[in-house]
Structure 1
Amino acid sequence: MNLIFKNATIIDKNSPFNNKTVDIKVESGIITKIGNNIPAENSFETVELDNLHISKGWFDSSVSLGEPGYEDRETIANGLNVAARSGFTDIALQPTGNPVADSQSDIAFVLRRSEGAATTLHPIGALTKGSEGKDIAEMYDMKNAGAVAFGDYNKSLQDANLLKIALQYVQDFNGLVIAYAQDDKIKGKGVVHEGIVSTRLGLKGIPALAEELQIARNLYLLEYTGGKMHIPTISTARSVELIREAKAKGLEVTCSVTVHHLLHTDEVLGNFDSRYKVAPPLRTEADRKVLLDGVLDGTIDIITSDHNPLDVELKKLEFDLAKDGTVGFESAFGALNTLLPLEIIVEKFNAGKIIFGLGNHDISEGSKASFTLFNPEGEWFFTQKDILSKSKNSAFLNQKLKGRAYGIYNNGKLILNS
């Protein structure tokens, strides 16, 4: 497919064309010319979109899909299509299927199912067998099969020695350990943040300490072992401070925050709406502000949608019984664009490629064409018809967003919203 993207404003701080409106010529998946008024040719299709902006392709570092085992929630094929239409050229797939992706064959399976898609799937292998926290999984074999990191989704490794061994083991092949932070004993039976709101609603609370204590422990382990650690979806002010201090020491630690933790607080729980039941729980306004500061000062490396499709039978329950999770692809950009500068959004949607050891292609002549197409302007209300996922459990339903992703060009394929 040969294309000319007309009148596109490039958002790429490393490009000499940053913030300039130009035409981009793509031949056989390679950018061959960037300039003004590139003439159309017979073998080229012209792409012209209102207020078109283009950046390096966005990467979502935490995505759950149903397949294998829970295809009623989401399939890999549809999930990748939704990701593409939401602006993501790359996603990291959590090992949340049935069976859990804890072996070479499991990694090979999800990669086969993603073949031919415009959005590239990068599997995360389970850190422990069955994500049960008892025995280290076959990380080296999974790495050879294509796994980009190792972690047990939303499960914290309670055995400190097991995490120590994992951090030491992956250094032989430059592996990345994902260490979700939550002390299960302190969490107990909590379902929301412990504070004024949980007391008012009569719901069992999860103290911020449950996250912070585990992060402190994990950082001590990292300081002892060396290696690389990624702490996903942090949610408290003290967590930001702990990671900032660790980075100042020179530890090789990175972290992410979710879109919904940057936009929402536990005050939205007043109606016991399980769409807002997520892990970690939504925290206070004070926490949200520090998370935002952490994004702006670089302490927080990645923003993720933490996309987790769940069918109605898992969410339309009493709040205590409902499963944690929200879909996030479709609303991610529009929600963040109401809060953050555009350049920061693009930066945080790209940083994970370097952290996870993936290619990050510049928008320059001679480079592979892998980019996101979007319009940063225009306010609109996000409704159920805008949810392309099979499951509809969105924490942003009926909220005002700003700007939309048009789609992507990646792997030689152009995917646009109709």
Structure 2
Amino acid sequence: MKSLLITSVKIVLPESEYHQQVVDVLIENGTITQIAPSITNNDDQVEIVAGAGRILSAGFFDLHANFGEPGLETKEDLHTGAAAAAAGGFTGVAVMPNTEPAIQSRAEVALIVNVAKGLPVSIHPIGAISKKREGTELAELYDMQQNGAIAFSDGNRAVQQAGLMSRALLYAKGIQALIISHAEDASMAAGNKMNEGEMSTYLGMKGIPNLAESLMVSRDLYLAEYNEAPIHFSCISTVEAVDLIRRAKAKGQPVTCDVAAHQLVFTDAEVVGFDSNYKVSPPLRTAQDNAALLAGIKDGTIDAVVSQHSPQEIEYKRVEFHVAKNGIIALQTALPLLVRAGLTEEEIVNTLAVNPRKIVGLKQPKIAVGEPANLVLFDTVSTWTFDENTNKSKSANSPLFGEELTGKVTLIVNNSQIIKN
């Protein structure tokens, strides 16, 4: 790797001794070798990047991305997913088991770990809780953990059987693993396509009530408490879920949660044009839910923000809203959405870089001399256009496609590689 000198950059990393300081940072052979107010460079082999007006932080880590490999590589493979992640400032990504076959045994976990070797973005598989993600029989959790799975989830399917979820929590506790819950009661959601409320009534579409999420959050909190096990809720979207998790945390229960970046900005009002790029699971909710989610980030109830990157081929999106597949490509737009939502620099770093790694027990990157460089350089004021020229994903299913966005990643450094935008 070429040596890199980042000049006059503000470091934002709350646990770093350089937090909120403006410094020069020299990286050589993938390692941070100097940090000082000013570094003199006489080596023409050192690439200099101006950091003035920009922020240097630990690389972002996404707790919830969907790549297609194995089996669904036409949506996204590990290489294109990593390219999209790098462009969005992510140096690490946890991939959900929504593949064919599902990530449900050591074979699929080992495949992902091996294919991802050498990529500039570290890719970590999340194993399925149940075989084929069908919610009836526990998958091989221990074998998957031994081969590199960092947590367990049935991805975009909720575990409907309380008994199976209880056993999963108990078993995962025994091997010091984390269960990630997708909270949706299928009998309440009933296969409907958007949020239940004034907008669904206006559009004449059957809706999914907030209760579908809060019922499952409540159930899984009780199950986790009964088994004295930790639990993580991914992509919560409702006022009620925030309140339930806040109360659980207040009484000391080991629960964490995240929210998808688009849930902080978009509402069900976007669906009025029947643009299928706004069709996601859980569905876009109301402005009141948005406000509750933002408040949850501010008070620490919500620990992390995820992309919920869900690529889909054009034939699954350019169709009528009610038959379109769920999902938004979002690795490259997570930062701009958090800027649009009004998060501070420190909140962005905590929710995108620090807390996601804490949740799954990964080592925290440090900005210190002698440490391997795992960094992102970004700012919250520059603009760029998300279009076919800048999109790194195989898919293009984003309501932000063609828009000028605020909040730009300049580069990442990870695994002794520099990737520039």
Q: Tell me which amino acid in the other structure corresponds to 1:60.
A: D
- 1:298 aligned residue: 300
Pair 1:168 & 2:170 matched: yes
Could you tell me how far apart the structure 2 residues matched to 1:371 and 1:298 are?
24
User: CA shift at 1:391, angstroms?
Assistant: 0.3
User: CA shift at 1:205, angstroms?
Assistant: 0.4
Pair 1:367 & 2:368 matched: no
Seen in structure 2, the aligned counterparts of structure 1 residues 218 and 366 have a Cα distance that, compared at 3 Å, is same
Local SS of the residue matching 1:366: coil
User: CA shift at 1:395, angstroms?
Assistant: 2.8
- 1:42 aligned residue: 43
- 1:353 aligned residue: 357
Local SS of the residue matching 2:10: strand
Following superposition of structure 1 onto structure 2, how do residues 258-297 of structure 1 map, counting pairs within 5 Å? Answer: 258-297=260-299
Q: Is the 8 A contact 1:4 1:44 kept in 2?
A: no
Could you tell me how far apart the structure 2 residues matched to 1:336 and 1:383 are?
19
Q: Is the 8 A contact 1:11 1:54 kept in 2?
A: yes
Q: Tell me which amino acid in the other structure corresponds to 1:349.
A: L
Q: Is the 8 A contact 2:83 2:393 kept in 1?
A: no
Which range moved further: 278-287 or 395-404? 395-404
Q: Is the 8 A contact 1:79 1:389 kept in 2?
A: yes
| Selected match of 2:323 from 321, 333, 341 | 321
Local SS of the residue matching 1:349: helix
- 1:4 aligned residue: 5
Could you tell me how far apart the structure 2 residues matched to 1:153 and 1:226 are?
23
Q: Is the 8 A contact 1:6 1:46 kept in 2?
A: no
Q: Tell me which amino acid in the other structure corresponds to 1:192.
A: M
TM-score, normalisation: structure 1: 0.97
Q: Is the 8 A contact 1:327 1:395 kept in 2?
A: no
- 2:215 aligned residue: 213
Count of matched residue positions in the alignment of Structure 1 and Structure 2? 417
| Selected match of 2:101 from 99, 102, 111 | 99
Local SS of the residue matching 2:333: helix
Could you tell me how far apart the structure 1 residues matched to 2:403 and 2:198 are?
25
Could you tell me how far apart the structure 2 residues matched to 1:244 and 1:398 are?
37
Pair 1:401 & 2:402 matched: no
Following superposition of structure 1 onto structure 2, how do residues 53-92 of structure 1 map, counting pairs within 5 Å? Answer: 53-92=55-94
User: CA shift at 1:114, angstroms?
Assistant: 0.7
Could you tell me how far apart the structure 1 residues matched to 2:71 and 2:289 are?
36
Aligned-residue Cα RMSD (Å) equals: 1.4
User: CA shift at 1:15, angstroms?
Assistant: 2.0
Local SS of the residue matching 2:98: coil
- Structure 2: segments with no counterpart, 5+ residues: none
- 1:342 aligned residue: 345
- 1:17 aligned residue: 18
Q: Is the 8 A contact 2:384 2:408 kept in 1?
A: no
- Structure 1: segments with no counterpart, 5+ residues: none
Could you tell me how far apart the structure 2 residues matched to 1:122 and 1:352 are?
12
Could you tell me how far apart the structure 2 residues matched to 1:61 and 1:44 are?
36
Pair 1:180 & 2:182 matched: yes
User: CA shift at 1:381, angstroms?
Assistant: 4.5
Which range moved further: 180-189 or 20-29? 20-29
Local SS of the residue matching 1:9: strand
Could you tell me how far apart the structure 1 residues matched to 2:266 and 2:388 are?
19
Which range moved further: 392-401 or 342-351? 392-401
- 1:243 aligned residue: 245
Q: Is the 8 A contact 1:124 1:149 kept in 2?
A: yes
- 1:33 aligned residue: 34
User: CA shift at 1:225, angstroms?
Assistant: 0.2
Could you tell me how far apart the structure 2 residues matched to 1:245 and 1:61 are?
23
User: CA shift at 1:403, angstroms?
Assistant: 1.8
User: CA shift at 1:18, angstroms?
Assistant: 1.8
Could you tell me how far apart the structure 2 residues matched to 1:223 and 1:209 are?
21
Could you tell me how far apart the structure 2 residues matched to 1:308 and 1:364 are?
35
Percent identical pairs in the alignment equals 39
1:15-39 Cα offsets, whole Å, 9 max, x none, are 2322222111223322121002212
TM-score, normalisation: structure 2: 0.96
Local SS of the residue matching 1:149: coil
Q: Is the 8 A contact 1:87 1:407 kept in 2?
A: yes
Local SS of the residue matching 1:48: strand
User: CA shift at 1:287, angstroms?
Assistant: 0.6
Could you tell me how far apart the structure 2 residues matched to 1:3 and 1:169 are?
46
User: CA shift at 1:400, angstroms?
Assistant: 4.5
Pair 1:222 & 2:224 matched: yes
Seen in structure 2, the aligned counterparts of structure 1 residues 23 and 298 have a Cα distance that, compared at 3 Å, is same
1:41-68 Cα offsets, whole Å, 9 max, x none, are 5375223136332101100110111111
1:145-171 Cα offsets, whole Å, 9 max, x none, are 000000011111111011111111111
Q: Tell me which amino acid in the other structure corresponds to 1:49.
A: A
Which range moved further: 12-21 or 233-242? 12-21
Q: Is the 8 A contact 1:337 1:401 kept in 2?
A: no
Could you tell me how far apart the structure 2 residues matched to 1:401 and 1:368 are?
31
